[in-house]
Amino acid sequence: MKLNADLRAFEGRIGYHFAKPELLNRAVTHASMSSANRDDNQRLEFLGDRVLGLVMAEALLKLDPAATEGQLAPRFNALVRKEACAEVAREIDMGAVLKLGRSEMLSGGRRKQALLGDAIEAIIAAVYLDGGFDEAKALILRLWGDRVMQVKQDARDAKTALQEWAQARGLPPPAYVQTDRQGPDHAPVFTITARIENGASAVASAPSKRQAEQAAAKMLLAQLERPS
């Protein structure tokens, strides 16, 4: 099969030319567009997630041979979690080439974090099936770029760090309360208040509850650790 102009341009953005273009076509087809004659990218997503994990695990081990499992795990999670995948997908304008059903298009599917994250994993799998592991590895390292080198030495998320701060002082775990939600269903903005028992609190807003909780925890931790 032949690729349309948009998908040929997409090949240029990711730096890989498909010998089997049907794999790319399948990788950009969301379940909302699947049919008896058209496969979607869900199975590719499943495979791509595993390939991504293997590549990142190997890269982190080589980057820091002295790191313990406890140090490597949070760095790994920071690189493969859905937010990171979606960020990479946005950088290569993944949303522009996705094949979506009408309802998904109308609900802003081209901008949805989960959908973009799944799609980049499907692309990884398509490259793996088309060119083998080495090509998939090269693609991942190329697209993730400096993220691998710059992943924080302590990549624990802010919620974990805040909980450990509270536990070290004999306090119960922090509480997270949703205090507001605005925007349409396809582009919501959640406002979360993070609070600990000593009365300290911080408020943050983000497109997802998880992101808002993380942002609020980060703000609260910075407040608590600020020299008095």
Residues of each annotated binding site for Mg(2+):
45, 118, 121
Which of 39, 58, 64, 121 is catalytic? The answer is 121
Residues in the chain: 228
The DSSP-derived string for 178-202 is EEEEES-TTS-EEEEEEE-TTS-EE
Inter-residue contact 59 to 74 (CB < 8 Å): no
Question: Binding site: residue ranges?
Answer: 45, 118, 121
Which of 40, 49, 130, 213 is catalytic? The answer is 49
Cα-based distances in Å from 6 to 12, 55, 59: 10, 28, 32
The DSSP-derived string for 23-49 is HHHHHTB-GGG-BTTB--SHHHHHHHH
58 tagged catalytic: no
Inter-residue contact 1 to 37 (CB < 8 Å): no
213 tagged catalytic: no
CB under 8 Å to 111, separation ≥6 — which residues?
95, 186, 187
Phi, psi of 14 (to 5 degrees): -95, -10
Residue 71 CA to its chain's centroid (Å): 20
Which residues form the catalytic set? 49, 121
